[in-house]
Amino acid sequence: MNGELKIISGSSNEPLAEAICDHLGSQLTPCLRDTFSDGEIRLEIQDNVRGCDVFVVQSISNPVNFNFMELSLMLDALKRASARRVTAVVPYYGYARQDRKVSPRAPISAKLIADFLTTAGMNRLVTIDLHAGQIQGFFDVPVDNIYAAPVLLENLRQREDDMVIVSPDAGGVERARAYAKRLNAGLAIVDKRRDKPNQAQAMHVIGEVKGKTAVVMDDMIDTAGTMTQAAKVLLEHGAKDVIACATHPVLSGPAIDRLEASAFSEVIVTNTLPVPPEKLKCKKIKVLSVAGILAKCIHNVHTESSVSVLFV
C-alpha cells in the first residue's frame, strides 16, 4: 500500500479535479496557488503529505507555459515534502504535437516536457488520448495513457442513425478504425493537404458516406480548420448529417466562429480541458465528463490493481 490517497488540483481544470474527488468520495487537498507581483508562481501544499500517495490533476493547457510551470512546482513541492509517490494526472498533455524533429534545428518539445516533469518529482503519469502513443517512450517512469473512448462511445451508441466514422486526415485512421469497429460502423477518410501550421485544405473523401451520419473523429479540436473543412467535403459527398467528436477541446483562435458557421449539427468533446462559458455559447458544443474513468484509474493505481480493465 502506498499510503493515504491525496488529490491536489492545479489551476488549469479544478472543476474536473473536484468531480474526480466526488467519484472517489474524497476531498481536494488544500493548496495555495498565487503569483508574485513580477509574475513568478507562489505555491504551497497546505496539508501534510509525508508518506502519502499523491495525485496532481493539471492539464498542460492555455496558458500552456504557466500551467506547465505550476505543475512542475507542485511536483517539486511534493517531492520535498516526502510524499511516498507522486502521480501527475495530465488529462491533456500539451506540446504533444511537437514529438519529432520536423526541421534540422527544431526541438523535440514533447520529450523535454517528459524530462522536466520527471526531474521535478513525478513518479508516474496518467494522461488521456496522447496525440501520439509513442510519446510514452519519452518517459522513464510508468505511463498510463487511458482513452476517452468509453465516454464517447456511450454517447454515440445512443444514436440510431446509420453512422460512418471519418478520420479528418491519414494520421487519425487508426483511431477512427477503432471507433468504427466498436460501433460496427463504416470507415471513411478525408484526404487533406496542409500548407501551413494550423491551416489545412481538405480535398476528397475515401469511403462511402452518402446518406449516412458522418462522425468526424479526432483527438483534439484546436483552431477547427481541419474539422470544418472535412464537414464541408462530407456534405458535398452526400452525408445526411455531420457530427464532430474529439477528446480535447483546445478551441483556440477562430475555432468557435468556425464551428458556429460550419456544417456540423453537433460538436462532442470531453472536459479534459475546461470550456469557458463564452465558448459554451456555441450551442453545437456538448461536453462529456471523463471524471469517472480518471477516478477509476486513480483508484486502481492507488490500490495496485490493474489499469488495463479501463482500456476498450
CATH number at residue 108: 3.40.50.2020
Same domain, 21 and 131: yes
Q: Which residues of 215-246 are buried (b: 16+ CB within 10 A; e: fewer)?
A: bbbbbbbbbbbbbbbbbbbbbebebebbbbbb
Report which of 119, 204, 213 is spatially closest to residue 163, judged by C-alpha positions. Answer: 213
**Structure confidence at residue 208 (pLDDT):** 87
Q: Does the pLDDT of residue 197 top 70, yes or no?
A: no
Same domain, 236 and 249: yes
**Structure confidence at residue 201 (pLDDT):** 60
Is this structure's pTM higher than 0.85? yes
- Strongest mean pLDDT among 97-101, 273-277, 294-298: 294-298
Structural domains of the chain, count:
2
Same domain, 128 and 177: no
Could you tell me how far CA 60 lies from the centroid of its own chain?
Answer: 10
Same domain, 11 and 122: yes
Q: Are 294 and 20 in contact (CB under 8 A)?
A: yes
Same domain, 117 and 174: no
DSSP run (H or E) holding 187: strand 186-196
The length of the chain, given as a count of residues: 312
Q: Does the pLDDT of residue 15 top 90, yes or no?
A: yes
**Structure confidence at residue 200 (pLDDT):** 52
Same domain, 160 and 283: yes
Distance CA 142, CA 87 (A): 10
Tens-digit pLDDT profile for residues 224-266: 988 898 898 999 888 899 999 999 999 999 999 999 999 899 9
Could you tell me how far CA 202 lies from the centroid of its own chain?
Answer: 24
Same domain, 10 and 143: yes
Distance CA 45, CA 302 (A): 20
> Domain range holding 108?
5-147+291-310
Same domain, 28 and 138: yes
Dihedral sign for Cα 26, 74, 63, 258, please.
Answer: negative
Q: Does the pLDDT of residue 291 top 70, yes or no?
A: yes
Q: How much of the chain, in percent, has pLDDT values that exceed 90?
A: 70
Tens-digit pLDDT profile for residues 145-190: 999 989 999 999 988 778 999 998 878 888 899 999 999 999 999 8
Residues 6+ apart with CB under 8 A from 257: none
Would you give the DSSP letter of residue 156?
A: H
Tens-digit pLDDT profile for residues 20-46: 999 999 999 999 999 999 999 999 999
Same domain, 9 and 86: yes
- Strongest mean pLDDT among 1-5, 58-62, 190-194, 233-237: 58-62
Same domain, 127 and 209: no
Quote the longest CA-to-CA distance of the chain.
61
Same domain, 172 and 142: no
Q: Is 281 a catalytic residue?
A: no
Q: What is the mean pLDDT of the chain?
A: 90
Joined grid coordinates for residue 12: 488549469
From 6, 79, 181, 192, active-site residue: 192
Report which of 122, 128, 146, 133 is spatially closest to residue 54, judged by C-alpha positions. Answer: 122
Same domain, 85 and 181: no
Tell me if residue 117 falls in helix, strand or coil: helix
